[in-house]
Structure 1
Amino acid sequence: MLKILTLAAATAVALGSSAFAAPRVERVTFASHGEQIVGDLYLPEDMDPAKAQPALVVTGAWMTVKEQMAARYAREMADRGFVALTFDFRGWGESGGARRQYEDPGAKIADIEAAVAYLATRPEVSKDRIGGLGICASSGYMVTAAAKDAAIKSVALVAPWLHDAEVVEQTYRGKDGVARLEAAGNAAEAAYRRTGKQAFLPAASLTDQRAIMFKVPYYTEADRGMIPAWRNEADPAFWRGWLTFDAIQAAPRLHRPFLMVHSEAAAIPQGAHKFYARLTGPKQELWLDNVTQFDFYDGAVPVEAATDAVAAHFRTTLGSAGEAGQ
């Protein structure tokens, strides 16, 4: 079912929401492919430890750490009664991994599966009621993991970046633009293999045109995404792996209940429409009117509207705390 919600209506939803108790946050560690992963586990403040809880793995945009938009959404989901895990992928933030600041779709998919497996060991979690919430670029990683990992029982995406080769060309200035980025990535990879040393570019900048994200908000704003925990660098060797990653191919194989929250004013909505059309399982979508990609990360009204919808989806598909489950 398609729903379109204006900002005025979303504001009414937000203002009408109940007040929530602050969640507790526990630092956790687990392993993924021999490396230590560091995460934050958000626990509802009023959680009954004797009752099994539905739980979520929450992942954020590319090149980010757990304290950015993933933390905002995990806290919101814990406010709404869910155990929520955020973590730093290998090579990012506090997690292990020799190669740093390198966007690797395959590795991140594997880390999501490791996070789900870890949640299943937690005594407060119903191991058969674990869902995945992906934001922006990690949406593609989340759906790919869910398409093959039966432990992920339900999926929700917010402002999803979902591309295939066609959408990549539309996004990165055609075949020539894609070829230029791939060439830059190949050169960086060749240098890394030759020297064993990484060369970094700014991940985001308002002034440095070499930045992967040039003249973008959020990451360049100290009161938003430009936080001390985030290292503003990226290894440009990632380009080929990113550009050839196909998130849309997962759609026909994803049979879990699915919700998508997006806006035509946010990033590559054509990819989201393409993905949604190819889904064969139970699905719902909510399109918010005139919400930018970055406002989905921390804007009070869009976040409230998105998390209310996501919570309703997971309550329907995973149940509430204390319901039957292992």
Structure 2
Amino acid sequence: MRAILFLVLIAAFHAHAVAQPSKSRAAAIAQNYPAIPESIQRRPVTIWSDGTRMAGDLYLPADMAPEAKLPAIVFIAGTGGTKKGTPARMASVFVQNGYAFLAFDYRGWGESDSKLQMLEDMPEPNENGDVTVKARAISWQMDFADQVEDIRNAIAFVSGSPNVDNERIGVLGTSYGGGLATWIAANDSRVRCAAVQVPGMGGGRGPAAERRGLNLQTKQARGEIEPVPYETGAPRGKMSSYAHMRYNTAKSIGYDVIKAAEKITIPMLIIDAENEELIDRTKNGEWVAGILESNGTPVKYHVLKGIQHYGVYKKKFDEAASMEVEWFNQFLKSAQ
């Protein structure tokens, strides 16, 4: 693919995404939202994550009292997911059941700005710290380290909302985002309840995968290969439909959801698909459910019958969403 370059004046944290492999930012902006009832309001919000602007949508009841404090759900997207897709559909379900709901695009995904990779030596900054550089937008990266930071900042944003009870924040993750949500459930004390559906948790990666990540990091650090995947790193095989995405396994070193699950103490719902074709659920959701159960952590593991991975967004959407609302009602909404 041809590198798309641009000149940018950047001061401290002003980094705007303008280019993405095979899938433009303009296409994400042009995507339509699903219709929502008049009883629900959607507020576009800006979330800062390590100096980069993320685009978000905060959903609230339209007739909410100014002093109201609602429990909040932060949605964590899966591979290639954006705030206008699955979370925009889920938002109505949750808001109608008395929740605030936050959806956002990771840095470099959807409508969010990207980090920048300079493609030439940096000139001396002027008196304001500004430099003019030739740079590339770092977009559509499968980057565990950055996305954990993005999720933490989304939680921080919603916890500061005047209409959110920051003692009642939950996370809801799907697919790739289900693994991220599980890691966050283990490591962020602000999260009081979690639910994940068809989660990819990286079960079974093992030492060989760790070595590959370390070897990749060595080559990136030494400039022997692309420092950030652009021409390389596209998903293949069962995930080839996400050709605009880029894996950077060097950024997943030390990211072990299965080990993280040992630390989870908050209630967690795990929903899997009976005919899951993308992952081995016995080494992902089912495995984590067993860990939580053995540790005495409140957990429910449910398998949706008769569907494959993507059936949770279609045929079984209502069933899954209903179970998730019920779970959060029990363990988050009623929490004091």
Q: Would you say the 8 A contact 2:183–2:257 is kept in 1? A: yes
Q: Aligned to 2:81, what secondary structure does the other structure show? A: coil
Q: How does 1:131-210 map to 2 (within 5 A)?
A: 131-164=170-203, 167-168=204-205, 189=220, 199-200=230-231
> Aligned-pair distance for 1:73?
2.5
Partners of 1:197 and 1:182 lie apart in 2 by: 13
**Alignment match, 2:261:** 251
Paired AA for residue 291 in structure 1:
I
- Alignment of 1:233 with 2:244, yes or no, is yes
Show the 5 A alignment for 1:277-296. Answer: 277-279=290-292, 280=295, 281-296=297-312
CA deviations 1:57-106 (Å, max 9, x no partner) are 00111233222223322333223321111111112222222221211111
1:275 aligns with 2:288: yes
Using the size of structure 1 for normalisation, the TM-score is: 0.72
- Do 1:77 and 1:311's aligned partners in 2 also have CA atoms closer than 8 Å? yes
AA paired with 1:313?
Answer: W
Q: Please identify which structure carries the higher helix content.
A: 1
- Aligned match for 1:316, one of 304, 310, 330: 330
* Distance (whole Å) between structure 2 residues aligned to residue 187 and residue 65 of structure 1: 32
Residues 123-132 or 32-41, more deviating: 32-41
Following superposition, the deviation at residue 189 of structure 1 comes to 4.5
Q: Is the 8 A contact 1:201 1:212 kept in 2?
A: no
Q: What is residue 141 of structure 2 aligned with on the other side?
A: 102
* Shift in Å, 1:255: 0.4
| Aligned partner letter, 1:136 | S
Partners of 2:217 and 2:200 lie apart in 1 by 23
CA distances 1:192-238 after superposition (whole Å, capped 9, x unpaired): 7767775246967xxxxx67723x5xx7xxxxxxxxxxxx61234x1
> Greater RCO between the two (CA within 8 Å, min separation 6)?
1
Give yes or no for the alignment of 1:56 onto 2:73: yes
Q: 1:66 — aligned with what?
A: 83
> Aligned AA for 2:245?
A
Amino acid across the alignment from 2:205? V
Gaps in structure 1 of 5+ consecutive residues? 1-18, 170-174, 205-209, 220-231
Q: TM-score, length-normalised on structure 2?
A: 0.71
Confirm or deny: 8 A CA contact 1:63 1:203 kept in the other structure: no
Change (3 A) 1:40 1:20: closer
Larger radius of gyration: 2
Question: Residue 171 of structure 2: SS of its match in structure 1?
Answer: strand
Flag the 1:46–1:150 CA change in 2: closer, same or farther, 3 A: same
Whether contact under 8 Å (1:27, 1:41) holds in the other structure is: yes
Match of 1:213 in 2: 239
Show CA shifts across 1:122-147 (max 9, x none). Answer: 11100101100000111111121221
Measure, in 2, the Cα distance between the counterparts of 1:78 and 1:54. Answer: 10
Return the letter of the residue paired with 1:288: L
CA RMSD of aligned residues (A): 3.2
Percent identity for Structure 1 against Structure 2: 25
Deviates more, 1:188-197 or 1:282-291: 188-197
Structure 1 pair 53–168 and aligned structure 2 pair: CA distance change class (3 A): same
Q: Which runs of 5+ in 2 are unaligned?
A: 1-35, 117-137
